[in-house]
Amino acid sequence: MIINNCVTPKDTQPAPLPSETDIVSNDINIKNELSLKHLELLEEVRYLLKNYSSEPLDMVDALQKLCINHYYEDEIGLILKLLYARMSNNGDYKHDKSLYEVSLSFRILRQEGYYVSADVFADFKQKDGKFKEEIAQDVKGLMALYEASQLSLDGERILEEASDFSSGALKDMVPSLDLHQAMIATNTLQHTYQRTSSTFMVKKFMKVYTGTPMCELAQLELTTKVQSLHRTELEQISRWWKDLGLAQELKLARNQPLHWYLWPMASLTDLSLSEQRIELTKPIAFIFLIDDIFDVYGTLDQLVILTQAVNRWESNSLERLPHHLRICIQALFDVTNEISDNIYKKHGFNPIDFLKQSVRMFDHLNMEMHHHR
């Protein structure tokens, strides 16, 4: 038969599937290459920081906004210490500095715990108390001034005025700026460094520092170490939640491990705080769970019993509750005690009393429930 005599062309032969060993080996090679590249970039950026030709605060600012400053704490600490000494001992420091330089120095020093007087901005004001008109066209300086003004203390009128002046001037200028500058100015107004999670802003800041070793390091961090770590942490949280078994008992309650994890992920950005992110997610899960219990499951009488049990921190009265409510509150007790034990073992301090106080939100929920039912 003709079909038996047909010869399949060589180039259409399917390639053999890679073995599991090949896949693992290739994965290891990729990880090794990324690890080597990571080390090279770390040292390249460290060299640049130590040998920065102009004002090193520019680079410190970039490292912080790209969330890679934790690798250079010693170098940054020395830079800030020297800067603070110069500003403290030299009353004329600010007189030969631009609006951008003064604003950046003020912001970074304040956010790192150094007190710098807001009077450093007095030289940029006119005799009538208004900011000088010439700085109203200084885009870079205005953005730095606006960022600095977000660190005002009570009674610092000059910083309140700086915020109004810089934000108004920037908004007026945005339509006339080029696309790149307009994007940076808009981001500054909408997402100041102090009021926005830097983790969520890294990708936007990367556009500002495109083409630099710092940006390359931040990109590598984001795509490999950080995402991999967050994925691993979320897997552990999901496993903990599944093993707890409450999703099966309370089917109408929210089952959202990712949602619970977002706040710890955004607030504890240091890579070394993995365990803390996981542990913090657990009480957050119970906050949502208990809110659902009060909204969906418990009768008024049951919720009173539940509230009393939590306030006394004892489980005897839980026997009067339905099974699904009983195991939920018992799990709350167990998780809280477990967190306290772990902290005590590592730090010699038992925070159980503080944790008990933090979960005693039931009285407020009870009042709300009585009001709505």
Q: Is residue 161 part of a domain?
A: yes
Number of domains in the chain: 2
Domain identity same for 311 and 366: yes
Q: Which structure tokens are listed for 42? A: 């770390």
Domain identity same for 259 and 168: no
- Residue range 172-189: mean pLDDT, rounded: 91
Domain identity same for 252 and 347: yes
pLDDT of 31? 56
- Residue range 7-27: mean pLDDT, rounded: 41
Is the pLDDT at 161 greater than 50? The verdict is yes
Domain identity same for 188 and 247: no
- State pLDDT tens for residues 206-228: 888 999 999 999 999 888 878 88
Q: Is residue 175 part of a domain?
A: yes
Domain identity same for 261 and 208: no
CATH of the domain at 195: 1.50.10.130
- State pLDDT tens for residues 41-51: 999 999 999 88
Write the secondary structure of the chain as one string of H (helix), E (strand) and C (coil).
Answer: CHHHHCCCCHHHCCCCCCCHHHHHHHHHHHHHHHHHHHHHHHHHHHHHHHCCCCCCHHHHHHHHHCCCHHHHHHHHHHHHHHHHHHHHHCCCHHHHCCHHHHHHHHHHHHHCCCCCCHHHHHHHECCCCCECHHHHHCHHHHHHHHHHHCCCCCCCHHHHHHHHHHHHHHHHHHHHCCHHHHHHHHHHHHCCCCCCCHHHHHHHHHHHCCCCHHHHHHHHHHHHHHHHHHHHHHHHHHHHHHHHCHHHHCCCCCCCHHHHHHHHHHHCCCHHHHHHHHHHHHHHHHHHHHHHHHHHHCCHHHHHHHHHHHHHCCCHHHHHCCHHHHHHHHHHHHHHHHHHHHHHHHHCCCCHHHHHHHCCCHHHHHHHHHHHC
Q: How many CB atoms lie within 10 A of CB 242?
A: 13
What residue type is assigned to position 343 of the chain? Answer: I
Is the pLDDT at 131 greater than 90? The verdict is yes
Q: Is residue 335 part of a domain?
A: yes
Domain identity same for 363 and 273: yes
- Residue range 156-176: mean pLDDT, rounded: 95
pLDDT of 122? 92
Is the pLDDT at 20 greater than 70? The verdict is no
Domain identity same for 261 and 211: no
Domain identity same for 112 and 260: no
Is the pLDDT at 293 greater than 70? The verdict is yes
CATH of the domain at 245: 1.10.600.10
- State pLDDT tens for residues 257-276: 888 999 899 888 777 889 99
pLDDT of 76? 95
- Residue range 4-26: mean pLDDT, rounded: 40
pLDDT of 149? 95
Domain identity same for 208 and 101: yes
pLDDT of 370? 47
Span of 31-35, 67-71, 304-308 with lowest mean pLDDT: 31-35
Is the pLDDT at 373 greater than 70? The verdict is no
Domain identity same for 89 and 123: yes
Picking from 164, 184, 217, the residue at the C-terminal end of a domain is: 217
Q: Is residue 166 part of a domain?
A: yes
Q: Is residue 25 part of a domain?
A: no
Average pLDDT of the chain is 82
Q: Is residue 18 part of a domain?
A: no
Q: Is residue 229 part of a domain?
A: no
pLDDT band at 17 (very low <50, low <70, confident <90, very high): very low
Who wins on pLDDT, 108 or 251? Answer: 108
Most confident range (mean pLDDT) of 1-5, 194-198, 269-273, 279-283 is: 279-283
What share of the chain in percent tops pLDDT 70?
A: 82
pLDDT of 362? 56
Q: Which structure tokens are listed for 73? A: 């704490």
pLDDT of 294? 77
pLDDT of 363? 56
Domain identity same for 166 and 268: no
Q: Is residue 332 part of a domain?
A: yes
Is the pLDDT at 65 greater than 50? The verdict is yes
Picking from 170, 202, 217, the residue at the C-terminal end of a domain is: 217
Task: Give the domain extent around 152.
Answer: 31-217
